[in-house]
Structure 1
Amino acid sequence: MRKSILAAVAVLIIPLAAMAGQKSLEVKAVLAQQEQIKADVLAGQGRYASISAKDRETLLHRQQELVHLLEGKESTDELTEAQRVEAFNTLEWIEATINNEPDERMVCVREKTIGSNRMTRICRTESQWAEARERAREQLMRGGACTDLGGAGCTGG
């Protein structure tokens, strides 16, 4: 049992690490992994027994969206940057749900750099995004201007 859990976590981490580093990912392996997770979730045994019915339904729906996104592709190189970010975020959400750690899932967004038309990808955990939003809200309440959700560019007011 413990070996199967470790194997499942390793299977999740390897593709996520590859996607985070912008390396190509073999779609066939991701789809096989998701099919195995789906079967285990539907069986509701082991580590999947503690997933709530709502999270189980959402997980299966997100998997279906991921499969649709990857359908007909051999590699993540065939996806647009926005699609790669979407796939990465979906895989992170699935992993966090399975591990019951929703605040620790990685969420990436694409933003334009100030003064440029170039898009950059910013990745933070859900809890880091919430913390950045809270810092920005507090800064606005104090009357200061804050244009950086990360808080580094915020000054007192």
Structure 2
Amino acid sequence: MRPSTIRFALLAAALAAGLATAADDKEHKNYSFSPSHFEAQREAIIKGMRGKTYRELSDEDRDTVLAALDRMAGHLEGVSQLEELDKRVQTTLFNDQELVNNLLTQAAADSRLICRRETFVGSHRSTNVCLTVLERKRLREAAQAQMYSMQGSGYLPPEQSDVNPRPIRQRPIP
């Protein structure tokens, strides 16, 4: 086999690996990529971005995904097979597909809902608290920042690791 044929086969296999989409608001899925099914996959991705599947996708990442999908749609217009496209266009499609896959996979992981039974201070009753992974991370970081700011203002004693203690020398017992 010639090197160009091997590269083309690898690119076609990579493109067939899947374009990340969401068929419904419940889960993130990978579909096999084909030009004839691209519009349906694109609509499923957009539907997932409006729903709960990708709710933690930032506005900047949302714009990036939509721009990549528009570029892909432009390249695939009137094409029924990938072999009809120039090698450079195939590479561009592959790169846009990887960009979409990476952003949507991370957003789906961050948007996963986790419910825990928690008891609030002053109460003996426990309740279900459901937050996304990213919401829990934001709350944890905000609590840490608040603790650090309280330490700097004198409300709390500084941590032992922030202070450079001198070693205590013991006197010999007479």
- What TM-score do the two structures reach when normalised by structure 1? 0.48
More helix by share: 1
Higher relative contact order (CA 8 A, sep 6+): 2
